[in-house]
Amino acid sequence: MSQESYGFREASEPDLPRLHRLEELCFGEEAYPLTYLAILMKLPGAFLVATHCGDVVAYVSAILRRRRVGHIVSICVDPAHRRRGLARELMLLAEERLARMGAAVYRLEVRTSNTAAIRLYASLGYRPVLFLPRYYPGGEPAVVMAKSSRVTLIEPAAE
């Protein structure tokens, strides 16, 4: 991570318009609608954001499914703040949070053409486990990538 000062925190409802603008900036017409982001926001801790000078410049959304599966729903970084380690840091923070909730595995879907994201996930230890043809609108396939949670959930015994 560069020396520029970034902060990390959970998002809350007032962040929704900025999260949606970021989505549009990163995904264009395929951005999640504000209504979907608002539904996710109701789940505690579903969004973690990176801030710079008080502005939200990146976010990750991650939720626990079926008690054991940590699902990375979306991650995006403002183009002006890319390649500074923000996505990597947000992914690690999201994994830590999901592990505390009981995740045994983390999973995500990514476009087969999204080299930047695939490299990011691979560098964090995610491996391709499934190919989903025509997963995205427009027909592009997705690759499902997954990684085991290695965080120990056993608290040390009290003295």
Ligand X SMILES: CC(C)(COP(=O)(O)OP(=O)(O)OC[C@H]1O[C@@H](n2cnc3c(N)ncnc32)[C@H](O)[C@@H]1OP(=O)(O)O)[C@@H](O)C(=O)NCCC(=O)NCCS
Q: Which of 6, 59, 106, 121 is catalytic?
A: 121
Q: Is 109 a catalytic residue?
A: yes
Give the nearest distance from C-beta 77 to ligand X in angstroms: 4
Contacting ligand X (CB under 6 A), which of 76, 98, 103, 143? Answer: 76
Give the nearest distance from C-beta 26 to ligand X in angstroms: 4
Q: Cα separation of 75 and 23, whole Å?
A: 9
- What six digits make up the tokens of 20? 């949606």
Q: Say whether residue 85 binds ligand X (CB under 6 A).
A: yes
Q: Say whether residue 40 binds ligand X (CB under 6 A).
A: no
A 10 A CB-CB count for 27 gives: 12
Q: Which residues contact 12 (CB under 8 A, 6 or more apart)?
A: 41
Cα atoms found within 13 Å of the Cα of residue 5, Cβ hemisphere only:
2
By CB under 6 A, the count of residues binding ligand X is 19
The three-class DSSP label of residue 156 is coil
Residue number, 122 or 153, with CB nearest to ligand X? 122
Strand (E) or helix (H) holding 38: helix 34-41
Choices 7-15, 32-40, 107-115, 149-157 (CB under 6 A): range interacting with ligand X:
107-115
Q: Is 30 a catalytic residue?
A: no
Residues in the site for ligand X, rule: CB under 6 A? 26, 75-77, 82-88, 110, 114-117, 119-120, 123
